[in-house]
A and B are shown apart, each in its own frame.
Chain A
Amino acid sequence: MRRLTLNELLERAMAYEHWRAPLDPTLRRAALASGGSIGLALLAVWFLPDLAGLADTPFMLVLGTFYGDMLDWLGRHRALLLGSIGVSACAYLLLLTLTGGFRAGQPGRHWATFGVVAIGALNGCVLAVMAAVVLVNLVLVLLLAGCILVLLAGIGRVLYHHRR
């Protein structure tokens, strides 16, 4: 006959106070966003030499030196960054599996998810700074191009009227 003894019950039982609970929706969203930022950071560090070339181009109207220094610092620590972001990515995938897609877990896994979120936010911050500098320059280049176009159109119009 199948049976369960008191010893077996105590082996298989788990303290209810430490039992799994669903992850807070904000924590889950932040964890999923962190996955994206860790992945992007891995790509950014991998293609760092290509990005570094951008700092020397005329495209960088403002903050070019800051951008160059930042990429230079990142480039000097590229191996370390690749290693740490790689480890973070592995930890992220493991936690993703253990929590069933960041849906539920024991208290320790809620803390681990928060750790992943902190790493993701740090990566996101660096990426956001880089993206913001590029974006500001892009807007400036577009504005400048617009001004040049308006100026050329104005000159063209003056020349046209002058010729008539």
Chain B
Amino acid sequence: MNHTVNRRRQRLTCSFLVQDDQEFLAMQLYTTPALIKRRREVLVRSRRAGVDIHYVGTMPLFEGYRLHRGRTVDWVFVNGADDPLLLARDGLPIPLATLRRLHRLRQNGVAFDAIYLAHEIPRGALRAGAPLTREVLLPPPPASVQRLSATLGRVSGMLWGVAMAPLLLSGVLVGTLVSGVALPVVGTDPILFGAVVDPRRPLRVGDPAALFYLDHWAYNAYEDV
């Protein structure tokens, strides 16, 4: 039930990201027969791979990011090549289930000319025109790793308690050190898109591209996987 509601919400978000934009609507006029053919090929191959993806609309290719203001949250629609999470050393965290879907697509010859991501961020977390930083998109840390760390922390405390027993017995107190610092947690729930263009044309900013919804995930939902 929750999954269905979530999927419906993501479809609405995809529509909001693409169809609310006048420039995107105008792009439908520039769809060429070759692009329509390529679009169908992608859908056929993905079905053969057993991966459910769907065509969202035609949009102009862009670099950098576009900020969409929502009622409760904002969306950063960003070219994968400019996504600060993908440029960072730690990379973009993607749940294993989604990675498996993407690997299946690749193995079945589904190729996209460009990848776009839509990151959900708290309302007002990013000013229009401000540089998109990694801190704005950083997801919450996985709960399973946090639980592991807490267990190791408890055992470490006990180890040090035993190690210091001789000193404690002789009446010396051991002080504590500085406290831990948590990571900033801002971004949640990304949506992944693949874009294909007319194969006869070189890739240029502003050219029409068929946009496909590939997958989405909520980091909190995957914490216990």
CB distance from A32 to the nearest CB of B (A): 5
Is B156's CB under 8 angstroms from A27's CB? yes
Interface residues on chain A, number (Cβ under 8 Å)? 54
Could you say which residues of chain B place their CB within 8 Å of the CB of A158? none
- Distance, CA A6 to CA B153, complexed state (A): 39
Is A117's CB under 8 angstroms from B150's CB? no
Could you say which residues of chain B place their CB within 8 Å of the CB of A107? 145, 148
Q: Within the complex, which residue of B93, B102, B145, B156 is in contact with A10, where a contact is CB–CB below 8 Å?
A: B102
Is A6's CB under 8 angstroms from B110's CB? yes
Is B177's CB under 8 angstroms from A20's CB? no
In the complex, per-residue mask of B141-164: 1 if CB is within 8 Å of any chain A CB, else 0:
110111011101111110110111
In the complex, per-residue mask of A1-20: 1 if CB is within 8 Å of any chain B CB, else 0:
11111111110111111111
Is B181's CB under 8 angstroms from A7's CB? no
- Distance, CA A33 to CA B153, complexed state (A): 13
Could you say which residues of chain B place their CB within 8 Å of the CB of A42? none
Is A104's CB under 8 angstroms from B172's CB? no
In the complex, A121 has a CB within 8 A of chain B: yes
Is A1's CB under 8 angstroms from B63's CB? yes
Interface-central residue, B142, B150, B154, by most chain A CB under 10 Å: B142
Could you say which residues of chain A place their CB within 8 Å of the CB of B114? 1, 3-5
Q: Within the complex, which residue of A19, A32, A104 is in contact with B93, where a contact is CB–CB below 8 Å?
A: A19
A contact set with B: CB distance below 8 Å? 1-10, 12-33, 37, 103-104, 106-107, 110-111, 113-114, 117-118, 121-122, 124-125, 128-129, 131-132, 135-136, 139
Q: List 4 additional A-B contacts (Cβ < 8 Å) besides A5-B113, A16-B93, A30-B159.
A: A17-B225, A18-B142, A32-B177, A139-B170
